[in-house]
Amino acid sequence: MSIIQKIGLGLFLIGMAIFISMPFIGTYTLSEDQVISGTKDIHQDKMAEILAPMYGVEYGSNFSFLSAFNDHFSSYNDALKDQGAWDQVIWDDYGFPLAMSALESPIKSQPWLFLGLTIGLAVLGGLMFIFPQYRGEPEGIKNNGIFHSSATSRGFIGIATGTFLISFYVLLYWYPAYLANHVWMVNPVSLILSGNPASQWFLYGFIYTIAIAVMGFRMFRKYRGNKYQILRTSSVIFFQTAFAFLIPEILVLLNQPYFDFKNIWPLDYDFFYSYNLDTLVSSGGFGLFMLMWGILLIIIGVPTFTYFFGKRWYCSWVCGCGGLAETVGDPYRQLSDKSLKAWKYERVIIHSVLVLAVVMTALTLANYFSSFELLGNVTNQLHAFYGFGIGAAFSGVVGTGFYPFMGNRVWCRFGCPLAAYLGMVQKFKSRFRITTNGGQCISCGNCSTYCEMGIDVRWYAQRGQNIVRSSCVGCGVCSAVCPRGVLKLENGSEENRINDMPIIIGNDSIKVNA
Amino acid sequence: MSKSQHIAIIGNGISGVTLARHIRKADSNAQITLISGESKYFFSRTALMYIYMGHMKYENTQPYEPWFWEKNRIDLKEAWVETVDYSTKDLIFANGEKLRFDKLVLAVGSKPNKFGWPGQDLKGVQGLYSKQDLELMEENTKDQFDRAVIVGGGLIGIEMAEMLAYRNIPVTFLVREEGFWTNVLPKEESDLVGRHIREHHIDLRLSSELDEILSDESGRVRAVKTKAGEEIACQFVGLTAGVSPNVQFLKGSELEVNRGIKVNEFFETNIPDVYAIGDCAEFQTPPAADRRNLEQVWYTGRMHGETLAQTLTGKRTSYRPGHWFNSAKFLDIEYQTYGTVPSSWDTEKVDSFYWEHRNGKVCFRMLMDKEGRFLGVNNFGFRLRHEFFDKALTQKWTGAKVIKNLDKANFDPEFFAPYHQLIQDQFLNDYGGDFAVAKSSFIQKLFGAKL
């Protein structure tokens, strides 16, 4: 490690340390005005009354503030629940907006400074660490030491990284009030982009995009000389930065609906939710265009592009989840489970999620077009369940938090309903395959080891068979790490796409009946 | 097909395992026992280096999960065979246990060559072939030291050099010949690899021959002495001057053994119901004009297994290898070959077309006979398609036709530089021809790597 890399690592760790310590900084003082402006009209009076004992009291930490808030709030709600007065119970979570406004902290008053000290230092340090990598070494992909490193072989650093990621996701989805400082920190960025104050989702999108970009630079170093990897990485950085992050924010600035043009149902599971349909329909021609665009992607875009290029056109070139997996997750790809058993679980789970998403959406639409007479409130319960179980817990906490434990494609492999849909097209009607180069395989296992989707690539390659699997996202790393030039991702004729070679090419002793 | 013949296979490398799989495919009754003292489960020998370098764990090198053997009713026996009693058809294991067989297949592989150098058995001196060799190498190199010396310029030598470089151990690489792997590679290719070895800061010494290995007081290597009299201080010596059949334990019996176990084209030894395949088999006559009596390559081992399985399941089949192919990776540079490209040739009979990229790391050689008929290719630094060349050889294409269609032979990943265009261009310059250089697609021109 060069001196620049050591400094970089130091800066990165300082940035991370400040980032992690931020929930513990600042005091919280609530006022009636904050409650009035931070709650819905129908709840204003009640909330102002419930929280009155907290006004003017300075709480030294978010723990004491939120515990006081929860005490007052819950005692009110619990009393109503005991009486069975369900219609008066307040279901909204005001903890986060009130923590945001009650907060007094150096971060809130100096957001740019802290942005620099946390994300700024981490990015700078990360780049200082990444850029000198492989300097002076000839081009060539090296997975040197992957299984000797604690970070990438489920060692202590790996466990610590996973714990950090899981904790971040748990706070983000269920306890955002503890991230008030973090949200204030990125607030000025949000104001510049969309003119709106930041939410926890802006914080998430901001960090997500930066993480993809920085770790994308790592990909450029690691896979230098491999044009396929370089282009693919550039593509995911571009789609995340432009389509997932900037364009939706700018649309909001222009008074248009927030819309990610590359997100596709059923991954984008709330596309057909009533509020989204209402927003798009009521946003004039442009909203209708967005609606049509989304529908066309589902029924024409996915099958057409997947027919010509395989599901890689989306999963490893465009998708945001894929983008994170292919950059931030790249160091963990070897941790995916290659066993036949894992493949069996994979097929059951991912197709169950697809069925669930389709059924949920069908019920939602039926309900929507019957003006909620069919099922009333039931679809909301369904949405809450799906959002919690699949949207947050599976795709977020497990999907990303488990990178250092189960590899970087846990969600894409076991959970993503869009991947399941793309996979069916890829398997049954596509020109894409990974071609095996005749008899050149030596069964070394690099391809299987570095397959993030847990495909046992070698199983096919050593038999001279092409690899046609619904889960393959076409990242091309099997081909990149193959030492004998055996694997090539190709689009070609459907004829002979799936081949069987009982006797591998190069042995004329046995004549196999074609 | 006998109802329940017991086929015992000694050795679970690629030959033995391929044989076992193919017997099971054709005969669901045969009792198959796969015996190895090296490891219970089949692993890819070629991947040992990757374990050392942390690319893979040992389990990752196993092509089949443990359930595979049970499901296919291939019994695994982890034990060393000490002797074979051919008269009673018994294997006698090191622990005295016996195993009766109906048919025996010897697929016992190789061991590293030791040519009687003084000091060749010192501590810190070893070859690299088996799992145990790898474990020994882990042990021998666990402490940081000043220098390692590798003796013998072949495939295992360069692998060992790469492994040691991963541990930041400086390496001196002694090669007896004037270039790297010159018994296989023509001069230009050998030079290309030599440059790349040096680019990796490996001290490549050509025309340098080992004289003796010197010991310290504890019986550990402290230096090597070359024939030129130079003493190179080192704490580790890799002996990688080729391999030879691992047949010591079979010698001195009625089994006919020369360098390897003598077999005919059916892999039959001089003893009925006893066969030999893979590295350890020595053909009475080479299987083809461009082949040798000993075939010590992964791919040939696999073919031996495929072929013998036919015989053992009732279809007596002689070994007829197809067109030669091979591959390797020298540090970062991949190498493939299809057809016949020896290290030298009779220029009266053979024409050589050679192209090298100006970066000196990518090259292509094609040999043709004087009628222009295609004989074979070597390609370094880019990938070519096996099926294409197999067809070209079978259909006896001319070299010109191969070059004309070279874009279809390209096996590099998408967006890689289209080296075939430069090759076609040079071929047209050298030989002329009625074709044009292949064109790149618009997308390739826009985004692809530049030549």
CATH of B125-241, one of 3.40.50.800, 3.50.50.60, 3.30.300.30, 3.40.50.1370: 3.50.50.60
CA separation for the pair B246, B277 (Å, rounded): 12
As a whole number of angstroms, the distance between CA A327 and CA A477 comes to 13
CB B370 within 8 A of CB B349: yes
Which helix (H) or strand (E) segment holds residue B425: the answer is helix B419-431
The continuous run of DSSP H or E covering B380 comes out as: strand B374-380
Secondary element (H or E) of residue A346: helix A340-369
Q: Is A331 helix (H, G, I), strand (E, B) or coil?
A: helix
Answer whether B278's CB lies under 8 Å from B14's CB. Answer: yes
Pairing of strands B110-112, B243-245: antiparallel
| B334 interaction partners in chain A (CB closer than 8 Å) | 483-485
- Cα nearest neighbour of B413 on chain A: A488
Q: Report pTM.
A: 0.95
**List of chain B residues with pLDDT < 50:** 1
Cα A45 to the chain's mean position, in Å? 39
CA-based nearest distance B162→chain A, Å: 11
Q: Which of B110, B122, B197, B211 is nearest to B157 (CA)?
A: B197
User: Testing the interface with A: which of B383, B384, B444 to mutate, by most A Cβ within 10 A?
Assistant: B383
- Quote the minimal CA–CA distance from A140 to chain B in Å: 5
Taking an 8 Å cut-off on Cβ atoms, the answer to whether A439 and B325 are in contact is yes
| B44/A488 CB distance under 8 A | no
ipTM: 0.96
Q: Is A155 on the interface with B (CB under 8 A)?
A: no
Pairing of strands B236-239, B125-126: parallel
Rg (CA), chain A: 25
Q: Which of A438, A444, A490 sits opposite B386 (nearest CB)?
A: A438
H-run or E-run covering A190: helix A180-194
CA distance B304 to A10: 56
* Domain ranges, ordered by start, for chain B: 6-111+244-312, 125-241, 325-447
Q: Measured on CA atoms in the order A39, A44, A49, A52, is the torsion positive or negative? A: positive
CB contact under 8 A, A484 and B332: no
Which of B87, B123, B101, B111 is CA-nearest to residue B38? B111
End-to-end CA distance of chain A: 56
Of A228, A437, A508, the CB nearest to B386: A437
| Other residues' Cβ atoms within 10 Å of the Cβ of residue A61 | 14
Q: Divide the 514 residues of chain A into consecutive groups of 10 and give the mean pLDDT of each group.
A: 95 98 96 93 91 95 95 91 85 93 96 98 98 92 96 97 97 96 98 95 98 98 97 98 96 94 96 94 94 97 98 98 98 97 98 97 93 86 94 95 97 97 97 97 98 98 96 98 98 91 89 62
Binding-face residues of A in 35-94 toward B, CB within 8 A: none
* CATH superfamily of the domain spanning B6-111+244-312: FAD/NAD(P)-binding domain (3.50.50.60)
Name which of B365, B146, B184 is nearest B290 in CA terms.
Answer: B184
Q: Is A336 on the interface with B (CB under 8 A)?
A: no
Task: Give bridge partners of residue B328 from the DSSP assignment.
Answer: B335
Report the CATH fold assignment for B325-447: Enolase-like; domain 1 (3.30.390)
Strands B148-151 and B236-239: parallel
Look up residue B314 and give its amino acid: G
- Would B6-111+244-312 and B325-447 be classified into the same CATH topology? no
- Residue A179 carries which side chain, given as an amino acid letter? L
Chain B residue closest in CA terms to A134: B200
Between chains, do A339 and B65 touch, taking CB under 8 Å as contact? Answer: yes
> B413 and A504: CB-CB below 8 Å?
no
How far is A135 from chain B, CA to nearest CA, in Å? 12
Residues forming beta bridges with residue A489, ordered by sequence position: A434
Give bridge partners of residue B339 from the DSSP assignment: B376
Residues 220-279 of A with CB under 8 A from B: 226-228, 231
Query: In angstroms, what separates the C-alpha of B305 from chain A's closest C-alpha?
Result: 10
* Strands, E assignment, B331-372: 333-339, 350-356, 363-369
- In 3D space, the residue among A172, A125, A142 whose CA is nearest the CA of residue A400 turns out to be A172
**Neighbour-count burial for B272-311, b at 16+ CB within 10 Å, e otherwise:** ebbbbbbbbbbbeeebeeebebbbbbbbbbbbbbbbbbbb
**Tokens standing for A87?**
């219609």
